[in-house]
Structure 1
Amino acid sequence: MVVQTETVADGVLLVRLNRPDARNALNMELRTRLAEVFLALADDPAVRCVVVTGSPKVFAAGADIKEMAESGAIEMMGRRILRLWKPLADCPKPVIAAVNGVALGGGCELAMHADIIVAGEGARFGQPEVKVGIMPGGGATQRLVRAVGVYRAMRMMLTGEPVTAAEALSMGLVSEVVADDTVLDRALEMARAIAAMPPLAVQQIKETVYAGLDGSLAGGLLLERKAFEILFASADQKEGMRAFIEKRSPTFEGK
């Protein structure tokens, strides 16, 4: 199985890339299975947070070059790769990428589909597509620029050279850097904390942030205000505020 899934705690689903012999290169089988997993979990109320990881040695080394080396343009168009990225991009649940080792090309783009990236100290991030005669095709020309700014993004894409975890943190590409042997534990700890939060509020935060990214400040603030007000119709809002007043732990049900 090229993608393994496991429920590791209440509300937390672990999604693991599993092509060890190919350094988790993203071939069509893996991409298709990953899209299927994300389509299913999007509508699963039992899933409140998702952690995506690779192995302790490599997150994902990029697209499977052997699979595409002799392909033509029409064949590449027919693969409709964007269709396979869409379930990840549209996932309504919070996604955390736990990155050890290299996240290159499509692997870096996969990590950037997450909402939070936890990286090991030895992790490396890069977009080396230019070195094999192509360019990023999984969103880096847009997501990387938005994450780190045009000048840092252009350096990574035009030279093809990777950055260290420390550099990625300083430029805003990752959320947190931890010891290599604690990456998955830290990501799961964070996922458990998010899964314990009110699901409707979590969903509205994610939806509002991304919906407002490409719009005006005024439009984004309007979206925020409407989402804020709508949450007062939820049972979780009443439970959360009553629990705060009564000095007890709340129990959120996503209602």
Structure 2
Amino acid sequence: MYQEEEQPLSGGNVSEGVVRVGDTVRRPAGPWTPAVHALLTHLHEAGFRAAPRPLGIDDRGREVLSFVRGEIIWPDRFALVDPSEGLARVARLIRDFHDAVAGFTPPSDARWNALVPADGADIIAHHDLAPWNLVADGEEAWAFIDWDNAAPGTRLWDLAYAAHGFVPLSGHPHWQRADAADRLRAFADAYGLDEPGRRGLVPLLGRRTRAMHDFLRDQAALGNQPWARHWAEGHGDAWRSDAEYTERHEDQWLRALLG
């Protein structure tokens, strides 16, 4: 019997064991996989197409997803979201996801892979809406991948994380932008965030970023991989620097969002 060749896939920070087989992706499954597949099924039934479609479990116990064509935009294609139109497109895509997931009722036995628990739970959030999980097929189809960490959370928790990566809100000299406040405003405008949401978002910007530093620190102390390796490679320092930068400029973010 003919079997299509498995092609290892890279991209993102956690891609071990992820392969392409024809028009499908095979990934290691976990206790959370049935709930994530129920979520992805709901999103497609609700008309949200910017996510892979779940196709079950293969004979090796791996989850099977539709292959999303295109390229990860981080870091080589970040220019796609550099113009305000590209940034706004991302914000609208996130709003479409949040609106679609609002009608989702998780299975009664749902188990989630909540690595960084959110401060609240009004939706099932993605928890990793970032440039390293956005696939762009030219100027046409854009889609978010890597839904393994989907779990109860809030719209603002998802937005705070997304703003960090897409504005970006970074203390690194190479990524720090003089127009960060303007881009944050454009991001919130395109999402359609109301005034209470804007006020609530500002303190979460630094808190969500610092939560990533704390998560890596704690996992490294336990020796858990791949997080311990990420910590040793300096990812924790980068998250802490970004958190400090974001926290120092909270007044600036608030003025931009409410001005």
| TM-score normalised by length of structure 2 | 0.26
Higher helix share: 1
| TM-score normalised by length of structure 1 | 0.26
The structure with the larger Rg is 1
